[in-house]
Chains A and B, each alone.
Chain A
Amino acid sequence: MAADTLILAAVALPVAAGATVALFHRSPNLREAATLTAAALLFLCVAALLPTILAGGRPALRLFEVLPGLELAFSVEPLGMLFALIASGLWIVNSLYSIGYMRGNNEAKQTRFYVCFALAIAAAMGIAFSANVFTLFVFYELLTLITYPLVTHHGTDKARSGGRIYLGLLVGTSIVFLLPALVFTWHVAGTTDFTPGGILGDKLSGFALGGLLALYMFGIGKAALMPFHRWLPAAMVAPTPVSALLHAVAVVKAGVFSVVKVIVYVFGTETLAAAENTDWLVAIAGFTIVAASVVALNADNLKRRLAYSTVSQLSYVVLAAALLAPLSVIGAALHIAAHALGKITLFFAAGAIYTAAHKTEVSQLDGIGRRMPWTMGAFAIGALSMIGLPPAAGFVSKWYMLSGAMAASHWPAVAVIAGSTLLNAGYFLPIVYRAFLRPASAEDALHPHGEAPLPMVIALSLTAVGTVALFFQPDVPLALARQMLGGMP
């Protein structure tokens, strides 16, 4: 197939999947088969684009012009390729997991769930392949709106108030900051196309450049930079598969992906490096890393702890990109992949624990490792990746980020990365310790349970294996990350 057909297919397939799922709402087995098939086909489509990209091709597809000079258009570049690979690959695993979870917990409105899920993936693909800021903005807003029914899936008062925070912050930041940033970019540069080396060049300087950067960074609320991070913990009222794929992978990665993309392709790392008024971004990202970790340290609810860990990990990506050193920008791209695999494993485990043992708090997890060895084993691997220890993928990305910070002689950033590693260890290792080394409470003995349903265990084992595999074989993400910077080391 031609490359532009593949691009269109990547966005259209999930939409078609949504329609098919809705069609089969009376027979759950066919419905789930549709989701799985679409996920597999989507991954094949995306993977088929990989050789072209690695060979230096940049396939593009123009849909139509909305306003003069403002096109809805797709173009595949290395970073988008990486994001699309992760999102589509993990959709397969996550669908497997969803089936186990949604059936295991007898969730209501499963058809709506699968339809919205497929559409959310379509929006994520649109973001990954967007050729300009305008297209990115369109799919970014779509992703927020489509995930809203997923976040509020349970329809309770708690879901509604969580949904308000989710929508209020994401739509609020995108309209108040990102939209003016988009219009201003177009006003100044006359284009919003993502271009290697940036499009602003010498058109902006000083305060205006710093201001535009601030509009983008806070406008991309999905990157959860403080103080606009509260939507992420609020989104945890959603069923766990949503938290796993969307709020550990698709939505939040769309956020940091957009951040890296804007820094590399709109501003250009060299333009930013030459500018003043941009250091604050490193400071805010560093602060978010540490502050979110401290909150995570004190959170007893497992999903809440994971959510704050995500807030913190997302800011690694922002920090690494903001350092502007080639090595750290490569680290940022790698961390998008590494964190996705690790965090989805952790969320899968949290959902498995909830399904099998109906437990949600960290303090209830004593001795659970002996009843759910696969789940907690996978959890331990995910935790290692978060901390950044071998043999997990997180180590590789952290290595690059740290090298970049050192190469740039940015010692505060080095201190934040190193110090936060300790904090990460501080909130993940106790969970592993409780699960495997502490005896189960007497009350637990009265409620025997084993592992979660098989599809869930398979799914979380797969992502755990992936986390380790990425440590030994980081070639493809690494090659893509290097290409993003035009072949630099």
Chain B
Amino acid sequence: MSVAAHLPALQVVLPLAAAPLAVLLRNRTAAFALVLAATWAAFAISVLMWQQVAASGPLSYALGSWPPPWGIEYRVDALSALVLMLVSGVAAVVLPYCRASIEREIRRDNHYLFYAMFALCLSGLLGIAITGDAFNLFVFLEISSLSSYVLIALGRDRRALLAAYQYLIMGTIGATFIVIGVGLLYLMTGTLNLADMSVRLQSVTSHRPVLAALAFLTVGISLKLALFPLHQWLPNAYAYAPSAVSAFLAATATKVSVYALLRFYFSVFGEGAVFKQLPMAEFMLVLALAGMFVASAVAIFQDNLKRLFAYSSVAQIGYIVLGISFDSVTGLTATVVHLVNHAVTKGALFLLLGAVMAAMGGVTLARVRGIGRVMPRTTFGIVLCGLSLIGVPGTAGFVSKWYLILAAMEKGQWWLVFLIVLSSLLAVAYVWRFVEAAYFRAPRADLAQVREAPLALALPAWLMVGATVWFGLDTSVTVGSAARAAAMLLGAVP
């Protein structure tokens, strides 16, 4: 077999192998170079696989040549190809940024450990998206979670320790729920392969354990994806983690959890079982709406920008889940498109905030006032991302909103259309708190001499900002993949 045939394995193995090697090297420059090479290679692999899947359908890879369902299967279909590309793409942009960013935020002799953890976290997230095995998914979830607790705890602010601890507790509860759910499914079907599980579930006669499995998985994954009201860990984790970590996790961690939810709901239980026989649609709709409004309203009153945009993330996750609750091709397209668009937007936003943090030593509204004068480009970038959160045309956020509104209209639910647009107005309110602080106030006297962000921070950030605008204008990759993924999830195409 040629190397090309092993791409699915390499996707995960490269960053996974880079992590311990980085620890062995014990040198921050060497560790950085190694992890960077692994990350960029992972991105290249994900693009190749995305092209293959788009051209010739899903890829299946039997790990260790044990054929499924006995061995672990790696399976790349329209949805996982997109998520893999998103996660590794974000990592490829964030990692070069890390080098300049952690210089100021993490002790130098810990840098090689940071890179090791970053590689581990990346491999965990990629693993979740690629694996076709339920227990393997849980293992990767733990790998990514444990490494992200470490990454958050590395934050300079001492509250980062508490935030990491909070996340550790909540994340562990979530993981426990997930493993119980997987265990119940294994009990009932005798298989761990997701595709096989789905087939065997059809012939299961006792529904109670399956329902329990669904409940455990829903709650467990909802904790990881920070569905309101299980989002308590998220604002602190994003606010006090090192800037680069905030950006990476905000763009990828919750998105991969959404992927896991979609996978279990649509590929294992099946759309009919989840939405036709159970009131899951109503349940998710209510939580999504509550998240959209409550979290946005809370965001308006935050003084720390990282917390403000963290709450905004909880609200935006509401949009993503709202799309799932429609249980239609358009709704799922909205979910998957927003998953990508929001990842890019929030990634860009947190990268820019990291540059602000580096220059001004903090990101509270009181500190960054007048920033429009001292860091005009960075400020403008933040405003652009804010417009994407609002859903202004020409930005990625508009495309997501378009599909969400369309999905609501297809169902004839006009009240939902208006709730969606009304919640956008809350986004205007929190974005404009920043705009007014940035442009209408004079900078603090001690910060008036602050310079614009250095290229090492600005370039990766602007790459992401560029993507935010690009995906608002050219949607062939995002909407194209999302529509294919939605059709696949609903069983229209394999």
Contact = CB atoms under 8 A, between A and B. Distances in A.
Interface in B401-445: 401-402, 405-406, 409-410, 417-418, 421-422, 424-425, 428, 432, 436, 439-440
10 contacts: A66-B472, A67-B402, A145-B392, A152-B440, A171-B425, A179-B391, A180-B417, A184-B409, A187-B409, A187-B410
Contact of B428 (A68, A137, A168, A186): A168
A138 B474 contact: no
B394 interface: yes
Contacts of B25: none
B354 to A, nearest CB: 25
Nearest to B392: A141
Interface string B368-384: 00000000000000000
Interface of B: 387, 390-394, 399, 401-402, 405-406, 409-410, 417-418, 421-422, 424-425, 428, 432, 436, 439-440, 472-475, 479
Contact of B405 (A67, A141, A142, A183): A183
B473 A180 contact: no
A163 to B, nearest CB: 8
Interface in A160-208: 160, 164, 167-168, 171-172, 175-176, 179-180, 183-184, 186-187
A155 interface: yes
A142 B424 CA distance: 17
A176 B475 contact: no
Contact of B421 (A160, A168, A180): A180
Interface residues of A, number: 29
A435 B188 CA distance: 92
The DSSP consensus for interface residues of chain B is: helix
A175 B421 contact: yes
A175 B409 contact: no
Contacts of A142: 394
A164 B428 CA distance: 10
Given A175-B391, A176-B422, 14 more contacts: A66-B472, A66-B475, A145-B392, A167-B432, A168-B428, A171-B390, A172-B428, A175-B424, A175-B428, A179-B391, A179-B421, A180-B418, A183-B406, A186-B406
A66 B399 contact: yes
Interface of A: 64, 66-68, 72, 134, 137-138, 141-142, 145, 149, 152, 155, 159-160, 164, 167-168, 171-172, 175-176, 179-180, 183-184, 186-187
Most buried by B among A171, A175, A176, A186: A175
A473 to B, nearest CB: 39
A176 B421 contact: yes
B386 to A, nearest CB: 11
B418 A176 contact: yes
Given A175-B424, A175-B425, A66 B387 contact: no
B401 A179 contact: yes
Contacts of A167: 428, 432
A64 B474 contact: yes
B387 A145 contact: yes
Given A164-B432, A187-B406, A67 B479 contact: yes
A172 B426 CA distance: 10
Given A142-B394, A145-B392, A187-B406, A176 B399 contact: no
Contact of A179 (B387, B394, B405, B410): B405
A145 B390 CA distance: 12
B402 A183 contact: yes
Given A160-B436, A160-B440, A171-B428, A137 B406 contact: no
Nearest to A138: B393
Nearest to A149: B439
Contacts of B390: 171, 175
B475 A67 contact: yes
Nearest to B480: A68
Contacts of B479: 67-68
B402 A64 contact: no
Q: Which 7 A-B pairs have the closest CB atoms?
A: A138-B393, A183-B405, A176-B421, A180-B417, A187-B409, A175-B421, A160-B440
A138 B410 CA distance: 23
Nearest to A157: B440
Given A64-B473, A155-B440, A175-B424, A138 B405 contact: no
Contacts of B391: 175, 179
A190 to B, nearest CB: 12
Contacts of A176: 418, 421-422, 425
B388 to A, nearest CB: 12
